[in-house]
Structure 1
Amino acid sequence: MKIFFKILAVIILSLLIFFVGIFKYRQYQANQVSIPRNATSVLKISVDEMLKSLAANIVSNAGFYLKSGDKKKPKDGKSEPGAGLKIPASLYLYSLEKQPKTAVFTRFEVKSPSDFETFIKHRLGFKILKQQHGMSFASSSLGNVIICYNTEAAAIAFSGEVVNFDSVLIDLLRQNDFVKLSESKFNKIKKSTHHIAYSDNDYNFTTDFIAGAINFNADFSTSAITPSANPKHRMLNAGSVVSMWLNADFPKTSTKTYRLKNATLKRDSLLKYYKGYLDFEWTNSIKQTDSIVTYAYNDDFEKVEKITLQEKNIPNASFIVAADAMGLSTYLSRQKIINPDSATVNKSVFPLYKTFVGGNSQYLVLGTKKPGKIDSRNINSTDFFSLDVNFKKLNNQLNVPGLGKYLKHLDRLTVKGKAVDPKQIQLDGKATLVNGDINSLYQLLKDF
């Protein structure tokens, strides 16, 4: 029996070494990738790192995955062909100079040309637009995803707008003016083992899908805000549905005007009264009676207005700004944002809920409930920003058809912001899921 276990141990160890070697080799190959020389940002998706994390989770929760693995088989008993692409250990996507900011590009090696064309035509519903010089072009129905491909590779453009990317895609397909990732300004991202990593000139972002949670981190430089040197915040309700606070200033820049229906606000005028702090809190739900205006015809066939009262549940939410409240309130009144006589926000500016105006000399308050006394007790913090969303409570209080199914797996979201130096900011976030044992990516994707 001892000999048997020794042999079994040797076999298991050999298999582990074999698979580790395979992963190492795949990662080595993936890191030899070249990217366009004019790339302005790079997004790395570490496929093998995700698979390793998922495999470890399957081993420790085999029973769950066996139950979840029951899928309907095709009626003919045959499995559908794959996408026909070679999936490397890491995928790289990038944005390019002189291209729309909403456009993202990538390039794949093709493993099976016939399977790939079948996949994009019949599974994705793409239309083959044209063929020239051994290359084919295909487009999504909306025209915002374009593929240029031949028998060896495929270049893809994802865009928020419909643009002719033919020449760009041909260059990507042929790898014209490419440089090795290790020799580019994005060479540091090559060593990243995070599941998702993004980098551009000013911004770095990572995401990892672990058991029961999604961890993410952002590190970036900005001149848009100036975090407080000694952060603090008001004492907020720990049981809120959503709470957020920010202790930072907004540097005055060129004059900017915000338009809200028939009202306008000037950025420099708002900042004149702002005192470096704001927070938002949604504690629970309250009932609010609203006037519903309908129209009907009387006996003389004249169109007349009919007003009915309707009671509905709405968020008990408040938005508080540290400010020269009297000056800010006067400015908002002049701009017809608030009505000083009724102490409410103009319905044409914010028609969703009746919003009241209140506060004191130090704080201006906008809320769906008449503001009471403000708790101005402050708590010192090492963070200048905080966001907390309780998705369980949010799902119970939101009444938006179809939205609940996308949020049902989420439990809580927390984000903290810290100033590394006056112009460098770090955000650390965590989204926990209802099931704390199962890989978060699997939980989010399994219903699709």
Structure 2
Amino acid sequence: MKKFFKTIAVIILSLLIFFVGIFKYRQYHANQIAVPKAATAVIKLSIDEIYKSLALNMLFNPDYYLKSDPDKKTDSITGDFRHGLKIPASVYFYTMKNQPETALFSRFEIKQLRNFQTFIHNKFGFKILKKQNEITFAGSGNVFFCYDANHVAVVVSGEARNFDAVLLDILKAKNFQQIGVGKFKSIKESTRHIAYSDAKNDVTIDFNSGEINISADFANHSIIPAVKPFHRKFNQESTASAWLNADFAKLPNKKIQLKSSTLDRDSLLKYYKGYLDFEWTNTTTQTDSIVTYEYNDDFEKTAKVTLQKRSVPNLMLNIKADRNLLINYLNEKQVINLDSGTIRNTVFPLYKVFLGGHQNQLQLTTQKKNKADNMLIPSNAFFSLNVDLVKINQSMRIPGLTQHLKLLKYMDIKGRSMHDRQIRLDGKITFVNDQVNALYQIVKDF
């Protein structure tokens, strides 16, 4: 028996070494890829890393992965997914200089031309647009291909344009360089599931068990984070809360249009004093005046006013500011009504928003005389956003979206200052099911 277990252990270890070797080889080969010198940003999809995460998660949750969903029908697309492409360990998409910012390009090796043509024509309805010199141009809507017998160049764009010339250059790998050369060197070694990089910003995303983890480093030229950040104490039952403890750098002035009112950004920042926060706590009741018209016995048209109560979100916005000066400016710009102490409904017609606060704080709330907890708590983050997605889903019924939001539980994003010119955002989205891989849950739900 002992010899049997030793044999099994050797076999398992050998298989692990074998598969690790295959993954390492595939990753090495994928990292030899070249991208256009004119690329302005690169997105890396680490296919093998995603597969490994899903495989490991499947070992611990086989019932979830193997059970069928009777409400979803299997169609011909899922039944035959022979795309004819050679998918490497990592797939790269990139934006290009002098091309729309929404246009993503890539280049793939074709393993089986007939399967590829069937895949794009029969499965997705992409039509052949033209052929020249054994090169085919095909596409439809916002997706276009340029391919020969060995490779295909593809673009997905939110803006209509003729991409024939740039697709032909990508197909022929014209003016390409290795991914590890130049400004995209860091993304080559990334093992994150999704990685984005341009000359100044980097973003990574990982799909783990019951959560999505996001990390982003951004070039910062517009905000000045507080040296010792703090935030107001929030209600633990809040549906959502956020704070920003930072000033804004002086930038060219811009106009802010609020329906019938126009504000100067510089004027607003002149009164702002480095801190604001937002909180949504359940609901509150507001009373609206409903005016209807009817005719009296003399056939004269008369107005009838009735009061109607309704539940609205209990919202609160606190801004550290020179309150009196800011209120005078907003009154001058016809944003607020000093007589009623509210935001004018021409600016914000959804709910009544009341003015409050004190000399150094302007408070805007949907509940009159709503008192905030002014206890300050030190933090290592100058920015935070927290959203209870379960409560959001219960309070906001959005057709087509509510069904998918039911997967999500909570979102937490923190912003920290790395140095004068860079900030880091770390975020986590947790799922109601905290055992199964987040990406698999999303794909299965759709």
Q: Same fold (TM over 0.5)?
A: yes
Cα separation, 2, equivalents of 1:152 and 1:43: 23
Any residues of structure 2 matched to 1:363-378 within 5 Å, and which?
363-378=361-376
Cα displacement (A) at 1:420: 1.2
Shift of 1:442: 0.7
Q: 1:253 aligns with which of 251, 254, 270?
A: 251
Greater than 6 Å deviation, 4+ residue runs: 292-298, 302-308
- Deviation, structure 1 residue 437: 0.9
- Shift of residue 172, structure 1, vs aligned partner: 0.8
Do structure 1's residue 268 and structure 2's residue 266 form an aligned pair? yes
Q: Displacement, 1:177? A: 0.2
TM-score, with structure 1 as normaliser: 0.92
Q: 2:222, 2:251 within 8 Å by CA — same for their partners in 1?
A: no
Taking the aligned partners of 1:13 and 1:375, their CA distance within structure 2 comes to 59
Structure 1 residue matching 2:349: 3-state secondary structure: coil
Q: How does 1:130-149 map to 2 (within 5 A)?
A: 130-140=130-140, 143-149=141-147
Contact 1:359 1:374 survives alignment (8 Å)? no
Instruction: Tell me the number of residue pairs that the alignment of Structure 1 and Structure 2 aligns.
Output: 445
The match for 1:349 is 347
Residues 313-392 of structure 1 mapped to structure 2, 5 A cutoff: 313-392=311-390
Say which is worse superposed, 155-164 or 389-398, in terms of deviation: 155-164
Preserved CA contact (<8 Å) 1:285 1:397: no
Amino acid at match of 2:418: V
Q: 1:267/1:18 Cα in 2 relative to 1: closer, same or farther (>3 Å)?
A: same
TM-aligned CA deviation for residue 296 of structure 1: 10
Counterpart CA distance in 2 for 1:368 and 1:194 is 42
Query: Is the deviation greater in 78-87 or in 191-200?
Result: 78-87
Aligned to 1:239: 237
Q: 1:226 aligns with which of 202, 214, 224?
A: 224
Distance verdict in 2 for CA 1:366–1:59, change over 3 Å: same
Q: Which 5+ residue runs of structure 1 have no aligned equivalent? A: none
| Matched residue SS, 2:445 | coil
Matched with 1:157 is: 155
Assess if the C-alpha contact under 8 Å between 1:218 and 1:428 holds in 2. yes
Amino acid at match of 1:104: L
3-state SS, counterpart of residue 27 of structure 1: helix
Query: 1:56-81 CA distances to partner (integer Å, 9 max, x unpaired)?
Result: 11111122222258885669xx9324
| DSSP 3-state at the match of 1:157 | strand
- In angstroms, what is the RMSD of aligned CA positions? 2.7
Deviation at residue 400 of structure 1 after TM alignment: 2.1
Q: Structure 1 residues 321 and 26 mapped into 2: Cα distance closer, same or farther (>3 Å)?
A: same
Matches within 5 A, 1:36-435: 36-68=36-68, 79-140=79-140, 143-290=141-288, 311-435=309-433
Give the conservation status (yes or no) of the 8 Å contact 1:276–1:322: yes
Per-residue CA distance 1:324-349 (angstroms, 9 max, x = gap)? 01111111111111111111112121
Q: TM-score, with normalisation over the residues of structure 2?
A: 0.93
* One-letter code aligned to 1:212: G
| 2:29 alignment counterpart | 29
Using the TM superposition, name which of 148-157 and 50-59 deviates more. Answer: 148-157
Separation of aligned partners in 2, 1:64 and 1:269: 56
**Percent of matched pairs sharing the same residue:** 53
